[in-house]
Structure 1
Amino acid sequence: MEARGAEQRGLGGWGRRLAAVTLLCVAARAAHKSDLGGDAPSATINHSPMLIHSLRDLLYNSSTSDSTLKVLPANSQEVKVFHTHQLLLTLQSTVFENLFHNQTTVTLQEPADCAALFEKFIRYLYTGEISIHLNQAIPLHQLASKYHVPALQRGVADYMKNHLVSESSQGHVVSWYHYAMKIGDEGLRESCLQFLAWNLSAVISSSEWVSMSDELMVSLLQRSDLVIQTELELYNAIEEWVIKNNPTVPTVEKVLRSIRYAMIPPIHLFRIQKQSPVLVKYYSTVQDLLFQAFQFHSASPLQFFKYFDVNCSMFIPRNYLSSSWGSQWIINNPVRDDRSTSFQTQLGPSNHDNNKRVTWNLLFSPRWLPVSLRPVYSDSASSAMPSVRMEDGRPRLVITPAMSSSDFAGVSFQKTVLVGVKKQQGKLFVKHAYSFHQSTDEVADFLGQADLQRRNSEYLVDNSLHLHIIIKPVYHSLITIKK
């Protein structure tokens, strides 16, 4: 009895409060069982917000604490002191459980950005709630990782994936990509890479561009789904990146050989060949590619591909926003009714096809019902289908050429539909992209999960649906000449 009394006295006020909470919980469970067993109706009383508020207050009440954390920021002598409760910390983190083994005061050294957010981090351990800003995501994830708080790790990673399209003065996606690479988060890395690819034209004009690592730049340039104005815009941006970052020679050579020179008109190829300081310095690295690009532009594509391999990235267009390869289509109040429009694109990127055009017809329908949902009429009452509401349908987009396929023999077309979301500083960002081939006129899963009825839908900007349709002409050989 004496030992037990001493133990209870050692627990202090915090121990007595914990014991009281335990007794209340036991009593509540007993009362709940009694309610369920009787005839009286049961009810749930939820005071969890009040409990969370009380737990948050504990952090600022040093009289009930049983442990102390001293946080020392890097390159600083200013120590932040937190009077804490071991029970709450160790419930969330096994690292804290080990740190407090046989001691009640622990000193921690943290990077400055992590130390600045340590109070926010500790408050989360008490309440399970936290607010995050873009510039706080990485240090909070670092703290959650260091102290093994998996729920917060997942929460911050999900926040980053869901806030790639968010306004920030300095940009944040490139730094998030580099962080994802460092910690091995493949899901976050791929999400960042896809965002950068679909919004590269906007990224090029931001301060983030020159901060890209060699690895990220090489990864991006290998992709055919880059959304940019033209290949020339990409080359000019690469030149700026090389000049400001001064990467290694192998990296520069790899980057320059990733440019698709055949997609640049001859007049611009002549200019960069003579006036670009980077290309003048590394001309021998890409001389063969430039020569092949000039050959590509000087001959008929059908003749050219009799002798040269067409199945390589050099002759595959990226997603060019230039009017030669597509058109923007803004649909105001898209749930109202069907719409149609048309536009023209260049037949192909070869200079030989510079004056040849293909006309495309577009049809948008806000509430199209797939076959599986359309009503079936029958004399049998048992086979009658339930009534189908028009709002059960989904949006439909059809893209068809207005010309016969014989007019563009040797060329097939890949179609890409970009959906713009959230304007920032006058720029529209892309979060959704749909691609399909010439043989298919309709986007199969177009806006399948979208709710265009809501004015605050993520798919709408100022109650308008912003689309950009891109046509990518791909040459293919009809006749092969034996070499």
Structure 2
Amino acid sequence: MERSHRPRPGWGRQYLALLTIVIIAAQAAHRSDGGSDTSATLLNHSSMLIQRLQELLQYGNSTDATLRIRTTGSDEVKVIQAHQLLLTLQSDIFEGLFANQSVVTLHEPADCAVLFEKFVRYFYCGELSIQLSQTIALHRLASKYHVSALQRGVTEYMKTHLASESSQGHVVSWYHYAVSMSDEVLQESCLKFLAWNLSTVMISSEWATVSEDLMVSLVQRSDLVLQSEVELFSAVEEWINRNSPNASIIERVLRSIRYPMIPPHQLFQIQKKSGLLATYSNFIQDLLFQAFQFHSSSPLHFAKYFDVNCSMFIPRNYLSSYWGSQWIINNPARDDRSLSFQTQLGPSNHDSSKKITWNALFSPRWLPVSLRPVYSEAVSSSSQSNRLEEGKPRLVVTSAMSGLDIAGVTFQKTVLVGVKRQHGKVFVKHVYNVHQSTDEFSDFLAHADLQKRTSEYLIENSLHFHIIIKPIYHSLIKAK
């Protein structure tokens, strides 16, 4: 009959002390085992040690620490018996709390209190399961008690699960939490995800929870990915109507809309139908007037009198067909592919009927000249194959007009790469930019393994691009 591994009463403290000695000795042996003996083998029984530690927590043998977890705003108290040695090994906060006492009362919000037992278990086994809804609470506990490894682990989980599906959405709340914790890395990751997937965020329940500071930060960015500037105006109007911010915030947000990027007929509709502008039209009258001036004259003439190098005249990443083309490449590791598409010369109504044709070339394994195979009898086929494996994906976008040189206009080329599908949605994970003087996107998908069907860059064995051409006007002659 198999013997039970349940620890015997009274031996827990001795086991902990012995375990500490064993770990220290093992670490010392590992450091000194630089090893010239090629027959040396590492015996790893760490899983057995972890199992014994978990049994200590489960059965409560020789516990010398009592944690009383009181839920904030409630009379509920949860009692957890633990061992000071394991708590203080990873947390200097617990080391201070248990310096002169064995019973500690901790006050935690409800979301943290319900996970505190899972948090304590981490001290015994170094692992825990995590769900989207638990991330903030676990990160808050790890931060509060200075459990740095767990804090980094939860942060990394959040950064890699921004595109995961959740019923209520989570990226906006993660951003607000990152701001409250001064976690600039997580904050920037969330902000970038929101900017690159704004069309999806604006139609979700999260949109109403966007804070005033976050809204101001978003509408000022040039890398927003959305269908059009009209879409942004409509979503901003909805947010203002729901949240009723003060007049200064409304003014800042409305003045960040890029009205010159909206065609004249849509500007007229906004003025006529928007209840928001009926109340706050005085905030943006000058901008609307300037936008109509922009559309009614040639860009060269307009640039003589106004500064067109400011953000108001810089297009964002618009997904409309006027600005670029979607490109889905099936089985992208197989052959070179090409695409032709047209965009309008510029956002001005004066240029909207003028079209530019662009040619795009995608190659899955392009090789620099120095690495290209030499097809001769002196070079083996295996060597040629190895060189092909060293190739990298290449994307080149050029104008069909030779020597494209239009006075006062340059073009920024942007490629969005979607990497994950959630219920039919493609989320943008990578954005590449080059300017007119450059045709090729450097480091394009440099780390993508397109040979694997499981590659994170592929959606159902296809590569999802969206190429965007952004015309940028420049002032040539300043009128006095």
TM (norm. structure 2) is 0.92
Give, in angstroms, the shift of residue 356 of structure 1: 1.2
Correspondence 1:6-25 to 2 at 5 A: 12-21=10-19
2:108 to 107, 110, 115: 110
Which residue pairs with 2:51 in the alignment? Answer: 53
Cα pair 1:374 1:388 within 8 Å, conserved: no
Match of 1:482 in 2: 479
Deviation at 1:374, TM superposition (A): 3.9
What is aligned with 2:342? 344
Aligned to 2:270: 272
2:5: which partner in 1? Answer: none
Aligned AA for 2:349?
A: N
Once the two structures are overlaid, the 10-residue window that deviates more, 176-185 or 11-20, is 11-20
What is the distance in 1 between the residues matched to 2:280 and 2:402? 45
Partners of 1:464 and 1:123 in 2: CA distance:
42
Question: CA offsets per residue over residues 42-69 of structure 1, 9 Å max, x none?
Answer: 2221110111111112111123312211
Q: Could you tell me how far 1:387 is from its partner in structure 2?
A: 8.2
> What TM-score comes out, normalization by structure 1 length?
0.91
Counterpart in 1 of 2:291?
293
SS state of the match for residue 363, structure 1? strand
Equivalent residue for 1:98?
96
Question: Which residue matches 1:224?
Answer: 222
Whole-angstrom distance in 2 between the partners of 1:225 and 1:272: 24
**Distance (whole Å) between structure 1 residues aligned to residue 170 and residue 101 of structure 2:** 40
Quote the Cα distance in structure 1 between the aligned partners of 2:472 and 2:42: 64
Output the CA distance in 2 between the equivalents of 1:26 and 1:289: 69
Q: Partners in 2 of 1:146 and 1:40 — Cα distance?
A: 46
Q: Which of 451, 458, 475 is the matching residue for 1:460?
A: 458
| Number of matched pairs | 468
Q: Report how far residue 110 of structure 1 moved.
A: 0.6
Please, which runs of 5 or more residues in structure 1 have no aligned partner? 1-10
Task: Report % sequence identity.
Answer: 67
SS of 2:11's partner is helix
Of residues 428, 431, 444, the one that matches 1:430 is: 428
Partner deviation per Cα, 1:243-293 (whole Å, 9 max, x = no partner): 000001100000000000000011111111122111111111100000000
Which structure 2 residues correspond to residues 22-171 of structure 1 after superposition, within 5 A? 41-171=39-169
CA distance in 1, matches of 2:25, 2:346: 78
The Cα of 1:76 is off from its aligned counterpart by 2.5
Which consecutive unaligned segments of at least 5 residues does structure 2 have? Answer: 1-8
Distance 1:230 1:38, change over 3 A: closer
**Residue number among 183, 186, 192 corresponding to 2:184 in the alignment:** 186
In the alignment, is the contact (CA less than 8 A) between 1:368 and 1:396 conserved in 2? yes
Residue 27 of structure 1: how far off its partner (Å): 8.3
> 1:326 touches 1:468 (CA, 8 Å); kept in 2?
yes
Report the 3-state secondary structure (helix = DSSP H, G, I; strand = E; otherwise coil) of the residue aligned with 1:64.
coil
> Does the 8 Å contact 1:164/1:173 carry over to 2?
yes
Correspondence 1:380-459 to 2 at 5 A: 388-405=386-403, 408-459=406-457
Cross-structure match for 2:469: 471
Partner Cα distance (1:34, 1:285) in 2: 72
Instruction: Return the offset for 1:26.
Output: 8.4
Structure (1/2) with the larger helix percentage: 1
The amino acid across from 1:331 in the alignment is I
Distance 1:235 1:19, change over 3 A: closer
- Alpha-carbon distance in structure 2 between the residues aligned to 1:146 and 1:324: 50
> Aligned letter for 1:213?
S
Deviations 1:169-208 (A, max 9, x none): 1111111111111111111111111111111111111111
Is the Cα–Cα contact under 8 Å of residues 229 and 258 in structure 2 kept in the other structure?
yes
CA contact (8 A) 1:229 1:322 kept: yes
CA offset at residue 399 of structure 1? 0.5
Q: Secondary structure at the residue paired with 1:353?
A: coil
Q: Write the letter of the residue equivalent to 1:482.
A: A
Q: Which amino acid aligns with 1:181?
A: V
> Which stretch has the larger CA shift, 334-343 or 65-74?
65-74
Cα contact 1:373–1:388 (8 A) shared by 2? no
Q: How many Å separate the matches in 2 of 1:455 and 1:377?
A: 30
Are 1:35 and 1:41, in contact at CA under 8 Å, matched by a contact in 2? no
CA 1:44–1:418 in 2, change beyond 3 Å: closer, same or farther?
same
SS in 1 for 2:414: strand
Q: Deviations over 1:111-161 (max 9, x none)?
A: 000011111110111111122111111111110111111111111112111
Q: Deviations over 1:411-445 (max 9, x none)?
A: 21110000001111221100100000111111011
CA–CA separation in structure 2 for the residues paired with 1:85 and 1:62: 9
1:332-370 CA-to-partner distances (Å, cap 9, x unmatched) read 000001011111111111111221111111111000012
2:4 alignment partner in structure 1: none
* Residue matched to 1:310: 308
Name the SS of the counterpart of 1:143 in structure 2. Answer: helix
Is contact 2:10-2:61 (8 Å) kept?
no
Q: AA paired with 2:479?
A: K
Q: Which moved more, 1:26-35 or 1:253-262?
A: 26-35
Letter in 2 for 1:454: K
